[in-house]
């Protein structure tokens, strides 16, 4: 799904007691596990989660910081219509468990279409030097 000039998903794993190799293994395990859960998920369960995400996205800002953040992201992207949130919500409404499950295995590789090497998104540079199978 593309909403203007923004696309993709981001994941952040942090730990103050686990090594990077452990975190990398957890990251790699996430995709097949999440895909299996999504494909097995009942439509009503998915719809409940989907509606919760939409409700959260449409919630009115509670602080000045939240209000500024809502506008600044579009401003930084040069979107003076300030409609990214509405476009994202419209796309979320179209999602199904199967569509989302199909996206996960290829999520990182989509960046290659935009001129970035796939390896930057699939395998950290340190793994090829340290954790060679």
Q: What is the CATH number of the domain that holds 84?
A: 3.30.830.10
Structural domains in the chain (count): 1
> C-alpha angle with apex 53: 109 to 56, nearest 5 degrees?
130
> Which residues constitute the domain of residue 94?
20-130
Q: Would you call 44 helix, strand, or coil by DSSP? A: helix
121 domain residue, yes or no: yes
1 in a structural domain: no
4 within domain boundaries: no
pLDDT at 120: 47
Give tens-digit pLDDT for 74-129. Answer: 898 888 999 989 999 999 999 998 888 877 766 555 444 455 554 444 455 555 55
Q: How many helices (H) and strands (E) does the chain have?
A: 7, 0
Quick check: helix, strand or coil at residue 6?
A: strand
**Domain assignment of residue 37, yes or no:** yes
43 is a domain residue: yes
pLDDT of residue 27: 85
User: What tokens were used for 120?
Assistant: 């930057």
- Closest to 8 (Cα-Cα) out of 76, 107, 77, 99: 107
How far apart CA 108 and CA 118 sit, in angstroms, is 7
Reading the block at residue 110, the tokens are 């989509």
The answer to whether residue 5 sits within a structural domain is no
Is 100 contained in some domain? yes
Residue 14, domain member (yes or no): no
């Amino acid at each position: 799904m593309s909403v203007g000039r923004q696309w993709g998903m981001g994941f952040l794993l942090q730990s103050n007691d686990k090594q990077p190799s452990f975190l990398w293994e957890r990251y790699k395990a996430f995709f097949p596990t999440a895909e299996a859960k999504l494909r097995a998920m009942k439509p009503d369960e998915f719809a409940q989660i989907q509606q919760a995400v939409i409700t959260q996205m449409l919630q009115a800002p509670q602080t000045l910081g939240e209000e500024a953040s809502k506008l600044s992201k579009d401003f930084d992207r040069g979107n003076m219509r300030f409609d990214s949130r509405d476009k994202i919500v419209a796309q979320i409404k179209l999602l199904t468990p199967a569509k989302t499950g199909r996206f996960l295995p290829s999520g990182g590789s989509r960046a290659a279409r935009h001129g970035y090497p796939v390896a930057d998104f699939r395998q950290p540079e340190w793994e090829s030097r340290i954790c060679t199978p």
